[in-house]
Structure 1
């Protein structure tokens, strides 16, 4: 939230509640020294206190003794100075001073004259808002916000007809619909139901609240369209409906809200035109329409009126919509020129930023155009916008030389300019030393461009306030003189691929404030000095893909809370130091670590560990047996080591685990210890020595599985039918085991494999396989956690990293399965790869396989299949690789489409197969011979006639063909016309097949 918005919000509060006493009916606090409280009300308050837990003595004055009998003098209590009745109960908490426990509203019923009730900012978990609240009919002010109330909003609140202020916000357990009885509160001026779990549609009765000045229903799950009765709230100054599921078009009735200053409709699914009536909102200062579905066609034309009339608009957010055309810049030229903050990021804007932009938008303070498709040279006029403080042009297609940013620009804003982000573009040239004129810079992001050359201390010496510096992924080399001390207090530094090596950068020794450091892929061929660990307090550290050598000493250090340490792909040796296990994310894969230093069972050390990747090392010995201390673990990868022994039973306590990879070790025994890991989406125990039957509980308790890899073990027995409960499974590999009996027919229940296309929202929500994005689970660690998936694909082991490879695969090869291939396999329409080779399957290939139109790989070789190859297989256009060899198939190999492209090796070993692919004729084939006409009588065969006929045909063909071709070759206009005709025909065919 920027500084301007804070000022705006404070101004609104002052506007809405200019005098809290006059608004709520409390013009002055009573003189409690001259009044005594009523005995029944004092007892009611003491009874109310009994159910509360007061850890901080907030109610220390509430005592039942002679010195404190006057409850009007108790803390949080005010009484009427004439009647003595309690009219204010103000028990607002303040972290950590909060009340908790059970709320006994029944005990407060005697307080029938209460007008002000504030129980906000406490902790009343498990308490509902009781319907007894409706009995306090004199209430003017009711605030129950931020106190963990649950249940639904009781409709009895509609009886509080004197209420002017109602705040139930930030109660995440509050659910249900907004009761329409709230429409009875016609005196209400302030209503806040935000940050709860309310659902359903907005009741049209809200239109009865004609005195409302503040309405906040944001961050709920409200649905449906905006009710037209909102147009009745003509006194409204603040309206927030953001973070809901509202859809449809905006209402023209919103134009009636002529006093509106703040309007936020972000994070909904609104679309269509902005009604011209919104031009009446002449006092509007904040307009938020982020993440909706407004497009060029419906937005630009219709919105001119609001912009022309809203000269007071200073904040506009249109991020994450469907805007494409750069016409929006010209629309802004002809509209308001008072904007201070403009967000357009995350759209699809194309073209270049027009030169006139800098002349018209001369009051901008923050401009964000990131995440679009803007092209052209990087503009230089931004330095002439003297009010500009923050500029973000990242993730576009801007090019040109970096120095052009400073050409023809006065940079009159250099004394206030704080943030510049040009990352992820195509900017070329060297890092100009003139960048030093931006001496007040706090953030500089130039990563992922085409910059080149050396960066020396002369480029950076003029900065004194720089906190974030990112130069990663360019062709830059940092060359600082020995002993140079950075003159700015860096907090985050990204220098990936900046050629810092071969020595470890000693200038980091003076930086004690860095919390995020990325010096990965920098050719550092050195050990990590001990001062590095002692001096830095890093939350996110990435030194991967270097040549770091030596061992990391086990220092008595305390890492920052929820830190991320990434040291994979180096040559670090020795043991895993236990102090690193304090991290939230620890990646040490692809090193030469030989042993655990001590996988501590101390809950205090490993309590935060969520990601642990020690794959591709040389760790030997048995798995430690104290996993119950790491119940926060989400991802565990110990693959490609020398681990032995059984999987310890303590792993059954990892109930939160999402990914478990133990591939390519020497583990043995059964899988009983994993039975309670019911939240797994990936289980990979391939290439071990595990044995026993495949447990049926895998299908019963691990129904979230997407990837199950048990390849190359010693599992035996049959395939349990319970595996068919894995409706989310997408990659299933049970190959190279000793599985017997038949393939269960219930595999048609693999729901995810029955869908031809992937559900993209499900892909994100479930933290899908190839790109396990860590912020989906825990948003506090920056960046993405990319998980490589190694999979047998078309007979070759391949590594997949990209979520675009949305594979759906079943591999049951190299077992001793018997019986027929179930025809139900034809229901798996989305299947891309199927390998049933090297088993003892019998019977015919089911014709239903022709329904697998997504199939790219099919291997049924080395079985005992009989019968003909079903012609339906020839209808799978995308079938890139087919192997039916070494079976007992018979008959003709189907022809048509691409079936002729398969080599003979795909069908060899089937003695009774025939066809062109095997260069083997089939029974019944006859040579095509030319049959001459038989002469009945020699005199009747007029040979001269046939000779004349053939001669005339030849002459006619010669004349007609060369008449056309000769004309085309010789006469240019005819040739051009013919070629244009061919182009039109070709284009029509291409369009037809697109």
Structure 2
């Protein structure tokens, strides 16, 4: 507590008499009562104010925790009620409203120091009465859930040196910051996350008038700049002594304006944080004169181009963060420009566009000794060993090296020179060769080793090797570690993250493994060929009690489901050979957020209460097992986003409790024995639904019109059921399907870390199943096949121009194919087979040039097949079973040659609405047409008959021609008579 006394400005810290302050001080009765009133108004669950008592032995408030009195006047001069700063300690905070607290605080009118930070005051306002604390020099109300308008009378505290109101998101600044000008001695100001958007035109001018300000923190305040000449000239020449300036996470874009307003001095400013703004590369030149800078953060801005030469002036830089910009050029060149910054320890160029190459040898002239280097996701394409030895040759104190997502190649070098290294991250590169224990045995401090996604790298350690380090994180996924299980891991007893998926391990899990990693938090050994039995009980306090995520999917584990600790949030045991029931496993469901048990041998019924106690469960997949009984019930507070229960033996109706899951995006209940009607509430209770799979069940009744409310739907599969009725015309309400395939919401849903590689869709096509995985976000399909649907295909369906697959086969649909079906230019699968469709094939079908699979077979279609363009790639199987179709590719049914000459027949719409060319009238029209054509043909030759007849050769040719024409007419007329006869007989 003496430290607080030293902070208080009213106390002469240079002339403190220790014996004087150690003598017993008794607080004033009035101030003791005020403090007890404050305690009475607060909720103190953990007894932080337990020393504030009412007993006679506790009557000296100067001995209470957090209370400091002046040894001369006995007045309370400091009150420190700061709560714990970490979120997981939030229950230790005192709570309550502060209406009465403020009235009691003003009784402490000698107060110099007041800290109420990191508590919970439930949106209470800062009282106007605070101005009565006229001697206050330090006020900290940060992170305490204060709200309402900041009182302007706060500016009456003219002696205030330190003001911190940050991280109170509900505080309001109404019209101006003029009240700040009353702080004549203010040195520290922090208004972080307080919304200052309403004062965006004046905040700079107000701040510039605080002449004593040394530390300014305005992060995430919605600040912007107004560049007006009059305002600039009015404050030009003002001086500040700013040493620390934090304006991060705003909308600022003009560094010269800021510097002119604040008149930053090259001799005073040491820290600038402009991260997450909109500054461009011009700010680099503006900053190059601030030679006193030791900390500079310009990450997440709009910097482009190469590094400026003028940065060589920043010789005092210790911390430089330029990550998440668009800087390009060679990394070696940038390092050369920083060679004078010999104090530089922290350097971040993450996610820029830097490349390798350049003269690395000159870097030996640099004497910087980096502690931290982040070059993740650039374009470095040099050998890793070359970079380490040449570019970082002098940085032997390097502790943190992050090189994720580059193109660093070559073999893994010996890193013994970097003996201080604690974290080495090289995932997503192109390393090759073999990593052995000799390469890293000289790293005794190593805690994090991440070499994942280097598929050409082999990791071979001796099974008996005892490393000099104890790793905290080990990530070697997609490296070659197999075929044996890495036995050297037995020595690593502090691992919290172990990720060795897809590491080509073909072995059993050693007996010591499950008991060895008691601190493990994340365990991922998926996509190997690991076999054996998972211990039946991992929930014991001595085994993996801190487990948060376990992924053993795509292996060969057998046995039964293990009991898992209550701490587990993410569970993936899919694609194994685990058998038995889920009954005991359900006991730990209260903390589950992600559960995938698909593709196993599980069976039996699911207990009714299994998932009712899972308020955080967002992903559930039990697909491809042999579960039976009723579908599991969801809880009243259902948070499911994805539900996959397909290919089991569930029966009964869809439970109404599922309507509570209003956030569902994916629902797949296909390939079960479900019955009943499709619930109407699916269309109204699930507004975000994008995938609905109900295929291969026993649903009956008609399609509910409420399905048309699913405006976000992209995959709708109700195939192989007993659905009757007509196809709703309101399908054009499917807004998402009316947009051609592009980046979609489903893409974003799938790409999230929780669901990535877990979402897929299947489309039945001619008895085969086509599966979409990585491109699922682009798939938009409707499959109503194998039902009892009747009526016409609604023309509204042609507005769904984003459809990739449309399958209406094996129903009882009638009428024509919609004339403008060609609007569906994105179709890849198109199946209308085995219905009763009639009429011709629309010529607009030729517009569907992306179509890969087409089936119009076994209908009553007629006329010539539009055999041009892309349709010529299909065989006759796409058109078989349509007696009235003719022409290519139906070789056995050529169309008459006259078809090319005949006029379009008149549309007859009586009982024959489809205009079927096999009707009686069509045969009569055709026969008359042929006779008239023959007569006209003969008549045309009579004109020249006289001249031809006198020439012998011409006469012979002419007679032969007439004979051929007569023979052809005889055959044609008889063929049509036979067709007409068969028509009436049928």
TM tier, smaller: 0.7 to 0.9
What is the alpha-carbon distance in structure 2 between the residues aligned to residue 627 and residue 699 of structure 1?
23
- SS of 1:616's partner is coil
More displaced 10-residue stretch of structure 1: 225-234 or 42-51: 42-51
In structure 2, relative to structure 1, the CA distance for the partners of 1:546 and 1:718 (3 Å cut) is same
For residue 485 of structure 1, report the CA deviation from its aligned partner. 0.5
In structure 2, relative to structure 1, the CA distance for the partners of 1:827 and 1:123 (3 Å cut) is farther
Per-residue CA deviation, residues 610-659 of structure 1 (Å, 9 max, x unaligned), is 2222211111222244323433322221111122222233x345712222
What is the alpha-carbon distance in structure 2 between the residues aligned to residue 120 and residue 733 of structure 1?
58
| Conserved? CA contact 2:164–2:190, under 8 Å | no
What is the alpha-carbon distance in structure 1 between the residues aligned to residue 896 and residue 269 of structure 2?
83
What is the alpha-carbon distance in structure 1 between the residues aligned to residue 798 and residue 256 of structure 2?
49
In structure 2, relative to structure 1, the CA distance for the partners of 1:390 and 1:169 (3 Å cut) is closer
Q: 2:387 is matched with which residue?
A: 405
Per-residue CA deviation, residues 383-418 of structure 1 (Å, 9 max, x unaligned), is 65432222233333323333323555682331x121
In structure 2, relative to structure 1, the CA distance for the partners of 1:221 and 1:924 (3 Å cut) is farther
| Conserved? CA contact 1:620–1:642, under 8 Å | yes
Q: 2:273 is matched with which residue?
A: 288
* In the alignment, structure 1 residue 357 sits paired with structure 2 residue 351: no
| Counterpart among 330, 346, 349 of residue 366 in structure 1 | 346
What is the alpha-carbon distance in structure 2 between the residues aligned to residue 744 and residue 445 of structure 1?
55
Q: 2:205 is matched with which residue?
A: 231
Q: Compare CA radii of gyration and give the structure with the larger one.
A: 2
| Counterpart among 745, 769, 779 of residue 797 in structure 1 | 769
CA RMSD of aligned residues (A): 4.4
What is the alpha-carbon distance in structure 1 between the residues aligned to residue 411 and residue 578 of structure 2?
40
| Conserved? CA contact 1:114–1:136, under 8 Å | no
| Conserved? CA contact 2:849–2:870, under 8 Å | yes
* In the alignment, structure 1 residue 749 sits paired with structure 2 residue 730: no
| Conserved? CA contact 1:620–1:644, under 8 Å | yes
In structure 2, relative to structure 1, the CA distance for the partners of 1:170 and 1:619 (3 Å cut) is same
In structure 2, relative to structure 1, the CA distance for the partners of 1:67 and 1:665 (3 Å cut) is closer
| Conserved? CA contact 2:223–2:252, under 8 Å | yes
- SS of 1:578's partner is coil
- SS of 2:387's partner is helix
Q: 1:109 is matched with which residue?
A: 103
For residue 865 of structure 1, report the CA deviation from its aligned partner. 3.5
Instruction: Map residues 701-850 of structure 1 onto 2, 5 A cutoff.
Output: 701-756=685-740, 768-769=749-750, 771-774=751-754, 785-792=756-763, 797-802=769-774, 805-847=777-819, 849=821
In structure 2, relative to structure 1, the CA distance for the partners of 1:346 and 1:106 (3 Å cut) is closer
Q: 1:570 is matched with which residue?
A: 555
Per-residue CA deviation, residues 338-393 of structure 1 (Å, 9 max, x unaligned), is 43333333344444334473364342322233334433448746665432222233
- SS of 2:712's partner is coil
Instruction: Map residues 473-512 of structure 1 onto 2, 5 A cutoff.
Output: 473-512=454-493
| Conserved? CA contact 2:26–2:61, under 8 Å | no
Per-residue CA deviation, residues 665-700 of structure 1 (Å, 9 max, x unaligned), is 121111115332332221111111111111122223
For residue 855 of structure 1, report the CA deviation from its aligned partner. 4.2
Q: 1:554 is matched with which residue?
A: 536
Per-residue CA deviation, residues 133-154 of structure 1 (Å, 9 max, x unaligned), is 57857584654333344xx423
| Conserved? CA contact 2:448–2:472, under 8 Å | yes
In structure 2, relative to structure 1, the CA distance for the partners of 1:409 and 1:856 (3 Å cut) is closer
For residue 862 of structure 1, report the CA deviation from its aligned partner. 3.0
- SS of 2:601's partner is coil
What is the alpha-carbon distance in structure 2 between the residues aligned to residue 112 and residue 703 of structure 1?
54
Q: 1:162 is matched with which residue?
A: 157
Per-residue CA deviation, residues 199-234 of structure 1 (Å, 9 max, x unaligned), is xxxxxxxxxxxx764444444676589425413422
| Counterpart among 623, 646, 662 of residue 606 in structure 2 | 623
Q: 1:175 is matched with which residue?
A: 170
Instruction: Map residues 590-669 of structure 1 onto 2, 5 A cutoff.
Output: 590-596=575-581, 599-602=584-587, 605-625=588-608, 626-649=610-633, 651-652=634-635, 655-669=638-652
* In the alignment, structure 1 residue 694 sits paired with structure 2 residue 678: yes
In structure 2, relative to structure 1, the CA distance for the partners of 1:365 and 1:644 (3 Å cut) is same
Per-residue CA deviation, residues 817-852 of structure 1 (Å, 9 max, x unaligned), is 223333443454443333223222334444565555
- Structure 2: gaps spanning 5 or more residues: 904-932, 948-986
Q: 2:368 is matched with which residue?
A: 386
| Conserved? CA contact 1:250–1:273, under 8 Å | no
- SS of 1:233's partner is helix
| Counterpart among 424, 428, 451 of residue 448 in structure 1 | 428
* In the alignment, structure 1 residue 920 sits paired with structure 2 residue 901: no
What is the alpha-carbon distance in structure 2 between the residues aligned to residue 413 and residue 667 of structure 1?
63
What is the alpha-carbon distance in structure 2 between the residues aligned to residue 666 and residue 476 of structure 1?
44
Instruction: Map residues 509-528 of structure 1 onto 2, 5 A cutoff.
Output: 509-528=490-509
Q: 1:129 is matched with which residue?
A: 125
Per-residue CA deviation, residues 168-205 of structure 1 (Å, 9 max, x unaligned), is 4334xx4374222653343247xxxxxxxxxxxxxxxx
Q: 2:29 is matched with which residue?
A: 37
What is the alpha-carbon distance in structure 2 between the residues aligned to residue 424 and residue 392 of structure 1?
11
- TM-score (structure 1 length as normaliser): 0.77
In structure 2, relative to structure 1, the CA distance for the partners of 1:897 and 1:113 (3 Å cut) is farther
What is the alpha-carbon distance in structure 2 between the residues aligned to residue 269 and residue 182 of structure 1?
19
| Conserved? CA contact 1:491–1:516, under 8 Å | yes
Per-residue CA deviation, residues 418-477 of structure 1 (Å, 9 max, x unaligned), is 1233343333332233x2211221122334333333332222222211111223324333
In structure 2, relative to structure 1, the CA distance for the partners of 1:274 and 1:562 (3 Å cut) is farther
In structure 2, relative to structure 1, the CA distance for the partners of 1:810 and 1:162 (3 Å cut) is same
More displaced 10-residue stretch of structure 1: 551-560 or 680-689: 551-560
| Conserved? CA contact 1:32–1:79, under 8 Å | no
- SS of 1:436's partner is coil
For residue 789 of structure 1, report the CA deviation from its aligned partner. 0.9
For residue 575 of structure 1, report the CA deviation from its aligned partner. 0.7
What is the alpha-carbon distance in structure 1 between the residues aligned to residue 568 and residue 217 of structure 2?
39
What is the alpha-carbon distance in structure 1 between the residues aligned to residue 418 and residue 846 of structure 2?
66
| Counterpart among 181, 190, 206 of residue 186 in structure 1 | 181
Q: 2:984 is matched with which residue?
A: none
* In the alignment, structure 1 residue 341 sits paired with structure 2 residue 319: yes
What is the alpha-carbon distance in structure 1 between the residues aligned to residue 739 and residue 240 of structure 2?
50
What is the alpha-carbon distance in structure 1 between the residues aligned to residue 461 and residue 781 of structure 2?
52
What is the alpha-carbon distance in structure 1 between the residues aligned to residue 13 and residue 819 of structure 2?
81
Q: 1:463 is matched with which residue?
A: 443
- TM-score (structure 2 length as normaliser): 0.77
Per-residue CA deviation, residues 941-986 of structure 1 (Å, 9 max, x unaligned), is xxxxxxxxxxxxxxxxxxxxxxxxxxxxxxxxxxxxxxxxxxxxxx
- Structure 1: gaps spanning 5 or more residues: 1-13, 190-210, 775-783, 940-994
For residue 487 of structure 1, report the CA deviation from its aligned partner. 0.9
In structure 2, relative to structure 1, the CA distance for the partners of 1:737 and 1:331 (3 Å cut) is farther
- SS of 2:416's partner is helix
| Conserved? CA contact 2:38–2:105, under 8 Å | no
What is the alpha-carbon distance in structure 2 between the residues aligned to residue 621 and residue 684 of structure 1?
20
What is the alpha-carbon distance in structure 2 between the residues aligned to residue 586 and residue 139 of structure 1?
58
For residue 887 of structure 1, report the CA deviation from its aligned partner. 3.5
| Conserved? CA contact 2:502–2:525, under 8 Å | yes
In structure 2, relative to structure 1, the CA distance for the partners of 1:923 and 1:280 (3 Å cut) is farther
For residue 488 of structure 1, report the CA deviation from its aligned partner. 1.2
For residue 495 of structure 1, report the CA deviation from its aligned partner. 2.4
| Conserved? CA contact 2:399–2:421, under 8 Å | yes
In structure 2, relative to structure 1, the CA distance for the partners of 1:78 and 1:498 (3 Å cut) is closer
Q: 1:974 is matched with which residue?
A: none
| Conserved? CA contact 1:667–1:690, under 8 Å | yes
For residue 512 of structure 1, report the CA deviation from its aligned partner. 0.8
| Counterpart among 660, 664, 669 of residue 676 in structure 1 | 660
Q: 2:573 is matched with which residue?
A: 588
